[in-house]
Structure 1
Amino acid sequence: MNAKRPVYVRGRLLGIAVLVATQLFIGIIHLCSGAAMLSGVFPSSSLVYSLYTLAYGFLTLVFTWMLWLGMRVGWIGTVAIAFFIIVADSLAMLGVFNGLDIPWNAGFGEIPYSLLILAYLLQSHVRAKYKV
């Protein structure tokens, strides 16, 4: 039998290590840009979008840390954020609803990335690791 064994990094799946590194980067970028927008560095951004960006960055960092620690709530939160991003960006791109003032073109990068997150986290061996 030639079954593939998952690759581990520091006791975690390689995919989780890559996801955590990427999510940390994205969380920090959104946290910093949300704070910059709130401070008035980008005067054209709305208060709602600034707060949304700041909250997204913060929640991404919190759930990423929990994901790294192997906590089930980290998996649930990361999946929930990915679903939310797909829905919110899709609605913004379609012009249906944009109460968060999300730029219409943000979805071109965020939707495929969120789909990749879901494609990985919803795999059976990852779900088993987080007991979901």
Structure 2
Amino acid sequence: MTQLFKYSGTVSQFGFDGKGSGTADLILDDISDWDKPPVRIAAHGALARYISDIEGTDAEERYINSDWYYDRNLFLYRIEVPSSNEFLPAKVITQADFLSDELAIFGPQEYIETSKPEPMSAEQSAAWGEYRIKY
């Protein structure tokens, strides 16, 4: 099992290359803590395209301090958008592997438009648990 690291913050800089499966170069920052250093990570495939698409909107989801999970190679695995319930996220965005064209979203399929979203449903939470076991 791959060890993942977590960074809580938002995208402060973004670059996207749509060639092939797509690659996004991201710098994450926590604007609520200026002493916390930023981190530079890369996203590939459908996850990179999701980030590129949402960065072109004014959706509230962009501004929520989310949890970004990445590996030692600084490749992004998933994004967890927190909810009003600290134990259950509002949304999880992930993919089975780096170059996958299929995005797996648990929680609302559309962009979140509130700063304090509700947690995902019990059915979505169970589906997320099954997905984690499978992948």
**CA radius of gyration, larger in:** 1
TM-score w.r.t. structure 2 length?
0.25
TM-score if structure 1 supplies the norm length? 0.25
The structure with the greater share of residues assigned to strand is: 2
